Amino acid sequence: MEAGAISSSDGGCSDEQQEHDENHSQEVQKYEARKPKWWMKLSGRRGTRAQRQTIERMTKCGYCFSRQVLSDFSRINNSAKHSSSAAEQLSSDSWRRVWWNRSLAIVDENDDAAQVTPIIDTVSNSRNVKHAQKIQSMYSNKSPLVPQKFERIALEIGFGSGDNILANAMRHKNTLFVGSEIHQPGCGTVLQKMEAEMGLKMRAEGSDIEEKKIDTTTSISSENSGDAPNKATSYENVRILQGDGVKLLSHLPCKYLDAILITFPDPWPKEGHSHWRVVQPNVLVEMHRVLKCDGKVFVATDAECFNDWTRNIFTQESSKGDWEEVTPCPNRSTWLPIVSYYEQKGIDEGRHTMLQCWKKK
């Protein structure tokens, strides 16, 4: 992997900076997660039956994060903010780290059951038995996969059909790639590819699942890169989450990620729709909180309006001393090795890809 790509250091950030991130997140405008009805009709369709079945199987295997568990996690934490008895324990960053490491099957040398047990004991005394049981189930969540130790963790927000995240996973085996996608068909597609290539399920005769291998001929090669693609089709370093990756940021512990990738998001070209764009001031505050020091945000788009918007928002935040642009942008072979169908379509229509990289200070 090229120096300065998907890597960071967790040293050098003070507790005062962390407190600044948390306080500042309450001052800026909020990201508008709820999309208009017409957009949902166009983009919010369900996956095919085969895709939904694959999602269910891969969730049981541990490669797809349970949507219900994440929903319970969000709901319980939001309700805890209004409960003085549990708020102090639930606001602790230590148990969040333990819980996420268990849920993503990451070896954690500091994993201590004592971080989670007091919370379970607290809610067990609740008069609402069903609520207490749901909390116990959520806090006891653990991935069925065998925990592994990873050097880095990268989050890709909106991975589309998943070609890029799978290519990155094959090239960087020591990095855990967590992909979030709001559209069920996209989740189903990438999980079908993983299932087929890992041999987790034999294709049934007459199935409508298309075995689509990663085409390494369309990847961007790097002359100076020391990382050759790993031919073994094993995606033990991939986790898929159904849902909005921006909302996911608020659930992660501080200084947890080494990199965040935003590849070809919906540009929302009309000015009146700008509040639906992924990059917003309050989103950058959350990114700054969850990234380790020197952690990076990579952005790829072929829409000039979104590229300019992103640069302006980051520039505004960098004036506060939170970000600095990495120039030149790291070689795309280290983080965007695949020319996706969407990108190729844009190239055919005369658009060109614009790349940005910003580092947490």
pLDDT digits (tens, 9 = 90+) for 50-59: 999 999 999 9
Query: What pLDDT sits at residue 232?
Result: 43
Query: What pLDDT sits at residue 343?
Result: 94
Burial code of 288-306, b = ≥16 C-beta within 10 A, e = fewer? bbbbbbbbbbbbbbbbeeb
Q: Are 290 and 252 in contact (CB under 8 A)?
A: yes
- What 3 state SS string does 215-280 have? CHHHECCCCCCCCCCCCCCCCCCEEEEECCHHHHHCCCCCCCEEEEEEECCCCCCCHHHHHHCCCC
Q: Does 87 score more than 60 pLDDT?
A: no
How far, rounded to the nearest angstrom, does the alpha carbon of residue 181 sit from its chain's CA centroid? 8
Least confident of 128-132, 169-173, 186-190: 128-132
pLDDT in tens, 200-256: 754 433 344 344 444 433 555 544 444 444 444 589 999 999 988 998 998 899 999
Least confident of 124-133, 266-275, 299-308: 124-133
Q: What is the mean pLDDT of residues 270-281?
A: 87
